[in-house]
Amino acid sequence: MKEAQSGRVVIVTGGSGALGRANLARFLAAGDRVVVPWIVPGERDAIEAEEARALAEGRLVLVRADLAEDSGARAAAEALPGAEVLVNGVGGFAGGSSVHETELELWERMHRINLRTAVAMSRAVVPGMLARGRGAIVNIGSRAAYECSPGLAAYAAAKAGVHALTVTLQRELVASGVRVNAVVPATIDTPANRAAMPDADFSSWTPPARIADVIHWLSRPESEAV
């Protein structure tokens, strides 16, 4: 069964970040209705300011939810019932210390924000997708999971979990009409990254809108062979 080309219900987590805002704009431009969960008031305020029209028209719904908990994930999934697309984009980065110097609390924080949120949201939407016989999940991975650079073990391990989740979910759902993929960006051209690495070659970085185009394509029927 093919997915509709527009008017779908899409959940974009991490929607206040640079890539998240690009994803939000891309799906709204395609005519989809989008749910963006938030937990910090500043995140909500930024989206409200940028997407006031979509909010007023009911094409965008903001819902306060801790996505690392089943209750928060369910709240996001139920904000607009019938989600056909989930973009697991919420995440966080921390690093700079060796494995033996990294506190266990940091390991737990990286796991909670990067992997647990993706697991909880997938658990919340997959049953409905299975019942409808269609759906797409796109996770945001990281090259750090493959490169395993010194000082980044907690973050890399969490993102490696996201990659394992992606492959396992796809294999579990392969015959169901629900597709699962991940994108693994190189350095994203964001103001925060430019500020953190002012001497880098920005020309080799990827704009968030280009990545959002790929994510949107992976949500569409044309990508079903991927």
How far is Cα 74 from Cα 89, in angstroms, rounded to an integer?
17
Element (H, E) at 22: helix 18-29
Which residue in 155, 169, 215, 216 is the catalytic one?
A: 155
Pair 158, 110: CB distance under 8 Å = yes
Task: Name residues whose C-beta falls within 8 Å of residue 39's C-beta, 6 or more positions apart in sequence.
Answer: 64, 65, 66, 67, 72
Annotation marks residue 155 as catalytic = yes
Burial letters 181-191, b for 16+ CB under 10 A, else e: bbbbbeebbbe
The catalytic residues are: 155
